[in-house]
Amino acid sequence: MTGTTRSSANLDPRRRRALVRAWRRGTREMDLVLGMFADAHIELLSDEELTTFEALLQLPDVVLLSWVTGETPVAEAHDTPIFARIRASCGASQA
């Protein structure tokens, strides 16, 4: 897999930026986790959900990966329904 196959042509600029940032993380693992989630859901996220997703995109990959895998507990501020959906979308179980 080389990245997104989803077109951003019909997205507003904010959602386009989030889609690109989700696929260009720095580690391939988080590219796949966040990018695939964004491909499937970016268009359907409410403004509030998009804000939550954007906050996750600002975090370091090593932190996000440890949360997704259950290696470390999710920080309370980021333990949101969006994060639960991201985790579920990649088949990770709750730790």
Kindly state whether residue 49 falls inside one of the protein's structural domains.
yes
Query: In this structure, are residues 4 and 39 in contact, taking their beta carbons and an 8 Å threshold?
Result: yes
Q: How many domains does the chain have?
A: 1
Kindly state whether residue 76 falls inside one of the protein's structural domains.
yes
Q: Enter the pTM of the model.
A: 0.88
Domain limits for position 45: 13-89
pLDDT in tens, 35-68: 999 999 999 999 999 999 999 999 999 999 999 9
pLDDT > 70: percent of the chain = 89
Kindly state whether residue 66 falls inside one of the protein's structural domains.
yes
| Of 3, 61, 59, 13, the residue nearest 36 (C-alpha) | 3
Kindly state whether residue 2 falls inside one of the protein's structural domains.
no
Q: What is the CATH number of the domain that holds 79?
A: 1.10.150.250
Is residue 8 over pLDDT 50?
A: yes
Query: In this structure, are residues 86 and 79 in contact, taking their beta carbons and an 8 Å threshold?
Result: no
Please provide the average confidence, as pLDDT, over all residues in the chain: 91
The amino acid that residue 73 corresponds to is P
